[in-house]
Homo-oligomer: A and B are copies of this chain.
Amino acid sequence: MQSRVITDGPSPKHVQLREVLAEMAAHELGPDAAIPSERDLMTRYDVSRSTVRKAIDSLVVDGLLHRTHGKGTFVSRPRLESRLHLASFSQDMRRRGMTPSTQLLGVRADVPPSDVAKSLGLAADAPAWRIDRVRLADGRPIALENGWYPSEPLPGLDRHDLGGSLYEIFADTYGLGIDSAEQTLWGEVADASTARRLDAPIGTALLVFRRVSAADGLPMEHVVSRYRGDRYQIHMSLGRDQLGSDRTATEGKTS
Protein backbone atom coordinates (compact mmCIF):
# COMPACT_ATOMS: atom_id res chain seq x y z
CA MET A 1 0.00 0.00 0.00
CA GLN A 2 1.34 3.37 -0.82
CA SER A 3 1.03 6.10 1.72
CA ARG A 4 -0.83 9.28 1.14
CA VAL A 5 1.58 12.10 0.54
CA ILE A 6 2.02 14.84 3.13
CA THR A 7 2.59 18.25 1.60
CA ASP A 8 2.78 21.88 2.46
CA GLY A 9 -0.82 22.75 1.92
CA PRO A 10 -3.86 24.34 3.37
CA SER A 11 -3.56 22.34 6.57
CA PRO A 12 -0.40 21.83 8.60
CA LYS A 13 1.54 18.67 8.04
CA HIS A 14 0.98 17.38 11.53
CA VAL A 15 -2.77 17.70 11.00
CA GLN A 16 -2.57 15.79 7.74
CA LEU A 17 -0.46 13.11 9.37
CA ARG A 18 -2.89 12.94 12.22
CA GLU A 19 -5.68 12.19 9.82
CA VAL A 20 -3.65 9.56 8.06
CA LEU A 21 -2.80 7.90 11.35
CA ALA A 22 -6.35 8.09 12.66
CA GLU A 23 -7.56 6.48 9.47
CA MET A 24 -4.90 3.82 9.70
CA ALA A 25 -5.70 3.11 13.34
CA ALA A 26 -9.41 2.87 12.72
CA HIS A 27 -9.34 0.69 9.64
CA GLU A 28 -6.15 -1.08 8.77
CA LEU A 29 -5.24 -1.66 12.38
CA GLY A 30 -7.37 -2.79 15.25
CA PRO A 31 -7.25 -2.10 18.97
CA ASP A 32 -3.92 -2.95 20.60
CA ALA A 33 -2.13 -3.07 17.28
CA ALA A 34 1.10 -1.11 17.02
CA ILE A 35 1.39 1.76 14.60
CA PRO A 36 4.70 2.20 12.74
CA SER A 37 7.51 3.62 14.83
CA GLU A 38 8.15 7.35 14.84
CA ARG A 39 11.36 6.96 12.88
CA ASP A 40 9.61 4.78 10.37
CA LEU A 41 6.82 7.33 9.93
CA MET A 42 9.25 10.19 9.39
CA THR A 43 10.90 8.45 6.45
CA ARG A 44 7.67 7.04 5.14
CA TYR A 45 5.98 10.42 4.99
CA ASP A 46 9.10 12.51 4.63
CA VAL A 47 8.52 14.71 7.64
CA SER A 48 10.58 15.38 10.74
CA ARG A 49 10.25 13.43 13.91
CA SER A 50 8.82 16.38 15.78
CA THR A 51 6.03 16.57 13.24
CA VAL A 52 5.37 12.88 13.68
CA ARG A 53 5.37 13.28 17.43
CA LYS A 54 3.01 16.23 17.26
CA ALA A 55 0.53 14.24 15.20
CA ILE A 56 0.77 11.31 17.56
CA ASP A 57 0.54 13.60 20.59
CA SER A 58 -2.82 14.88 19.55
CA LEU A 59 -4.13 11.39 18.98
CA VAL A 60 -2.85 10.35 22.39
CA VAL A 61 -4.59 13.30 24.00
CA ASP A 62 -7.77 12.28 22.27
CA GLY A 63 -7.36 8.76 23.50
CA LEU A 64 -7.02 7.09 20.13
CA LEU A 65 -3.46 5.97 20.74
CA HIS A 66 -1.28 5.28 23.72
CA ARG A 67 2.46 5.00 23.96
CA THR A 68 4.69 2.64 25.86
CA HIS A 69 8.29 3.61 26.29
CA GLY A 70 10.58 1.08 24.66
CA LYS A 71 7.80 -0.86 23.00
CA GLY A 72 5.85 1.34 20.67
CA THR A 73 2.65 3.25 20.09
CA PHE A 74 -0.59 1.34 20.04
CA VAL A 75 -4.19 1.79 19.07
CA SER A 76 -6.37 2.25 22.14
CA ARG A 77 -9.69 0.70 22.76
CA PRO A 78 -12.34 3.37 22.72
CA ARG A 79 -12.27 5.13 26.03
CA LEU A 80 -14.92 6.24 28.38
CA GLU A 81 -16.25 9.67 28.57
CA SER A 82 -19.54 10.72 29.90
CA ARG A 83 -22.17 13.24 29.56
CA LEU A 84 -24.97 13.48 31.97
CA HIS A 85 -28.60 13.70 31.36
CA LEU A 86 -30.43 15.34 34.20
CA ALA A 87 -34.05 15.22 34.99
CA SER A 88 -36.06 17.55 37.20
CA PHE A 89 -37.03 16.81 40.76
CA SER A 90 -40.61 16.09 39.89
CA GLN A 91 -39.70 13.90 36.95
CA ASP A 92 -37.27 11.92 39.04
CA MET A 93 -39.79 11.28 41.73
CA ARG A 94 -42.51 10.25 39.32
CA ARG A 95 -40.15 7.94 37.53
CA ARG A 96 -39.59 6.21 40.83
CA GLY A 97 -43.28 5.81 41.30
CA MET A 98 -43.40 8.38 44.05
CA THR A 99 -45.55 11.42 44.37
CA PRO A 100 -43.67 14.68 44.50
CA SER A 101 -44.96 17.64 46.45
CA THR A 102 -43.69 20.95 47.65
CA GLN A 103 -44.03 22.85 50.88
CA LEU A 104 -43.56 26.59 50.48
CA LEU A 105 -41.65 28.06 53.40
CA GLY A 106 -41.55 31.65 52.25
CA VAL A 107 -41.41 34.13 49.38
CA ARG A 108 -40.21 37.67 49.68
CA ALA A 109 -38.30 40.36 47.87
CA ASP A 110 -34.95 41.09 49.41
CA VAL A 111 -31.43 42.14 48.57
CA PRO A 112 -29.40 38.98 47.97
CA PRO A 113 -25.93 38.33 49.35
CA SER A 114 -23.16 39.64 47.18
CA ASP A 115 -22.12 36.27 45.78
CA VAL A 116 -25.67 35.55 44.71
CA ALA A 117 -26.04 39.02 43.22
CA LYS A 118 -22.87 38.46 41.30
CA SER A 119 -24.04 35.09 39.98
CA LEU A 120 -27.27 36.64 38.83
CA GLY A 121 -25.56 39.63 37.32
CA LEU A 122 -27.37 42.06 39.58
CA ALA A 123 -26.21 45.35 41.04
CA ALA A 124 -25.18 45.12 44.67
CA ASP A 125 -28.38 46.66 45.99
CA ALA A 126 -30.82 45.25 43.46
CA PRO A 127 -33.68 43.26 44.96
CA ALA A 128 -34.52 39.69 44.05
CA TRP A 129 -37.12 37.13 44.96
CA ARG A 130 -36.14 34.74 47.64
CA ILE A 131 -38.04 31.47 47.61
CA ASP A 132 -37.54 28.76 50.20
CA ARG A 133 -39.16 25.39 49.68
CA VAL A 134 -39.07 21.86 50.94
CA ARG A 135 -39.44 19.16 48.30
CA LEU A 136 -41.11 15.95 49.36
CA ALA A 137 -41.68 12.50 47.93
CA ASP A 138 -44.70 10.61 49.20
CA GLY A 139 -44.94 13.21 51.92
CA ARG A 140 -41.43 12.68 53.27
CA PRO A 141 -38.98 15.59 53.07
CA ILE A 142 -36.21 14.97 50.57
CA ALA A 143 -34.67 18.33 49.88
CA LEU A 144 -34.50 21.90 51.09
CA GLU A 145 -34.24 24.56 48.41
CA ASN A 146 -33.09 28.12 48.92
CA GLY A 147 -33.52 30.00 45.70
CA TRP A 148 -32.94 33.55 44.49
CA TYR A 149 -34.56 34.90 41.33
CA PRO A 150 -34.06 38.37 39.82
CA SER A 151 -37.19 40.49 40.35
CA GLU A 152 -36.88 42.75 37.33
CA PRO A 153 -37.67 40.15 34.66
CA LEU A 154 -40.16 38.38 36.95
CA PRO A 155 -42.69 40.96 38.21
CA GLY A 156 -45.39 39.56 40.45
CA LEU A 157 -43.73 36.19 40.81
CA ASP A 158 -44.96 35.99 44.40
CA ARG A 159 -48.56 35.97 43.24
CA HIS A 160 -48.19 32.65 41.47
CA ASP A 161 -48.61 29.19 42.85
CA LEU A 162 -45.10 28.26 43.83
CA GLY A 163 -45.98 24.72 44.81
CA GLY A 164 -44.95 23.29 41.45
CA SER A 165 -42.35 23.83 38.82
CA LEU A 166 -40.92 27.32 38.75
CA TYR A 167 -39.53 26.65 35.30
CA GLU A 168 -43.05 26.18 34.00
CA ILE A 169 -44.09 29.51 35.45
CA PHE A 170 -41.08 31.19 33.89
CA ALA A 171 -41.90 29.71 30.52
CA ASP A 172 -45.67 30.09 30.54
CA THR A 173 -46.00 33.47 32.20
CA TYR A 174 -42.82 35.29 31.34
CA GLY A 175 -41.76 33.54 28.17
CA LEU A 176 -38.43 32.64 29.68
CA GLY A 177 -37.22 29.15 28.91
CA ILE A 178 -34.35 27.93 31.03
CA ASP A 179 -31.80 26.62 28.61
CA SER A 180 -28.54 26.25 30.48
CA ALA A 181 -27.20 25.82 33.96
CA GLU A 182 -24.02 25.44 35.91
CA GLN A 183 -24.20 23.07 38.81
CA THR A 184 -21.82 22.22 41.60
CA LEU A 185 -22.26 19.31 43.95
CA TRP A 186 -20.61 18.60 47.26
CA GLY A 187 -21.19 16.98 50.62
CA GLU A 188 -22.30 18.61 53.83
CA VAL A 189 -23.63 17.74 57.24
CA ALA A 190 -27.01 18.99 58.40
CA ASP A 191 -27.00 21.84 60.89
CA ALA A 192 -29.84 22.38 63.32
CA SER A 193 -32.12 24.46 61.14
CA THR A 194 -31.65 22.38 58.02
CA ALA A 195 -32.18 19.21 60.03
CA ARG A 196 -35.42 20.60 61.41
CA ARG A 197 -36.70 21.49 57.95
CA LEU A 198 -35.87 18.05 56.62
CA ASP A 199 -37.19 16.33 59.71
CA ALA A 200 -33.82 14.61 60.10
CA PRO A 201 -31.28 14.35 62.90
CA ILE A 202 -28.57 16.95 63.17
CA GLY A 203 -25.45 15.61 61.50
CA THR A 204 -27.31 13.81 58.72
CA ALA A 205 -25.27 13.59 55.52
CA LEU A 206 -26.48 15.91 52.79
CA LEU A 207 -25.88 16.17 49.09
CA VAL A 208 -25.73 19.84 48.25
CA PHE A 209 -26.32 21.24 44.76
CA ARG A 210 -25.75 24.83 43.83
CA ARG A 211 -27.23 25.64 40.49
CA VAL A 212 -27.20 28.83 38.46
CA SER A 213 -29.63 28.63 35.57
CA ALA A 214 -30.04 30.95 32.67
CA ALA A 215 -32.58 31.71 29.97
CA ASP A 216 -31.14 33.07 26.76
CA GLY A 217 -27.87 33.73 28.50
CA LEU A 218 -29.47 35.76 31.29
CA PRO A 219 -29.14 34.26 34.76
CA MET A 220 -32.59 33.59 36.18
CA GLU A 221 -31.96 31.37 39.14
CA HIS A 222 -29.45 30.79 41.90
CA VAL A 223 -30.57 27.89 44.00
CA VAL A 224 -28.91 25.80 46.66
CA SER A 225 -30.62 22.46 47.27
CA ARG A 226 -29.80 20.26 50.21
CA TYR A 227 -30.84 16.65 49.69
CA ARG A 228 -30.95 14.06 52.40
CA GLY A 229 -28.00 11.82 51.62
CA ASP A 230 -29.73 8.86 53.14
CA ARG A 231 -32.87 9.16 51.06
CA TYR A 232 -31.60 10.45 47.78
CA GLN A 233 -29.16 8.91 45.38
CA ILE A 234 -27.99 9.86 41.96
CA HIS A 235 -27.53 7.11 39.49
CA MET A 236 -25.70 7.33 36.22
CA SER A 237 -24.80 4.97 33.45
CA LEU A 238 -21.57 5.59 31.70
CA GLY A 239 -21.45 3.95 28.36
CA ARG A 240 -19.21 3.95 25.45
CA ASP A 241 -20.34 5.62 22.34
CA GLN A 242 -17.97 6.94 19.82
CA LEU A 243 -14.77 8.71 20.29
CA GLY A 244 -15.23 11.98 22.05
CA SER A 245 -18.95 11.91 22.34
CA ASP A 246 -20.54 9.79 24.97
CA ARG A 247 -23.79 10.15 26.68
CA THR A 248 -25.13 9.00 29.93
CA ALA A 249 -28.36 8.97 31.71
CA THR A 250 -28.71 10.20 35.24
CA GLU A 251 -31.59 9.71 37.51
CA GLY A 252 -32.39 10.77 40.96
CA LYS A 253 -33.58 8.04 43.17
CA THR A 254 -35.11 7.89 46.58
CA SER A 255 -34.74 4.98 48.84
Are A182 and B82 within 8 A (Cβ)?
A: no
Instruction: Select from chain B the residue with minimum beta-carbon distance to A240.
Output: B179
**In the assembled complex, A183 has its CB within 8 A of some CB on chain B:** yes
In the bound complex, residues from chain B placing their C-beta under 8 Å from that of A66 are 171-172
| Interface window among A14-22, A112-120, A122-130, A246-254 | A246-254
Are A180 and B237 within 8 A (Cβ)?
A: yes
State how many residues of chain A have any CB contact under 8 Å with chain B. Answer: 62
Instruction: Select from chain B the residue with minimum beta-carbon distance to A245.
Output: B85
In the bound complex, residues from chain B placing their C-beta under 8 Å from that of A50 are 50
Are A234 and B85 within 8 A (Cβ)?
A: no
Copies in the complex: 2
A179 CB contact (under 8 Å) in B77, B187, B188, B232: B77
**In the assembled complex, A203 has its CB within 8 A of some CB on chain B:** yes
In the bound complex, residues from chain B placing their C-beta under 8 Å from that of A237 are 180-183
A86 CB contact (under 8 Å) in B86, B87, B207, B238: B238
A38-83 interface (Cβ within 8 A of B):
50, 57, 61, 66, 68, 76-83
Are A172 and B84 within 8 A (Cβ)?
A: no
Are A85 and B182 within 8 A (Cβ)?
A: no
**In the assembled complex, A178 has its CB within 8 A of some CB on chain B:** yes
Chain B: minimal CB distance from A29 (Å) = 15
Chain B: minimal CB distance from A18 (Å) = 15
Chain A 173-204: CB-based contact to B (< 8 A → 1; otherwise 0): 00101111111111111000000000000011
- How far is A171 from B77 in the complex, measured between Cα atoms in Å? 8
In the bound complex, residues from chain B placing their C-beta under 8 Å from that of A244 are 83
- How far is A255 from B208 in the complex, measured between Cα atoms in Å? 15
A250 CB contact (under 8 Å) in B79, B82, B177, B186: B82
Are B177 and A233 within 8 A (Cβ)?
A: no
Are B232 and A186 within 8 A (Cβ)?
A: yes
Q: List 14 A-B contacts (CB under 8 A).
A: A57-B57, A76-B171, A79-B177, A80-B178, A83-B83, A86-B236, A179-B239, A180-B237, A183-B235, A183-B238, A187-B187, A187-B206, A187-B232, A189-B203
Beyond the given pairs A81-B85, A82-B86, 14 more chain A to chain B contacts, judged by CB atoms under 8 angstroms and listed by A's residue number, are A31-B177, A81-B83, A83-B248, A84-B247, A84-B249, A86-B246, A183-B236, A183-B238, A184-B253, A185-B235, A186-B205, A186-B207, A186-B234, A188-B229
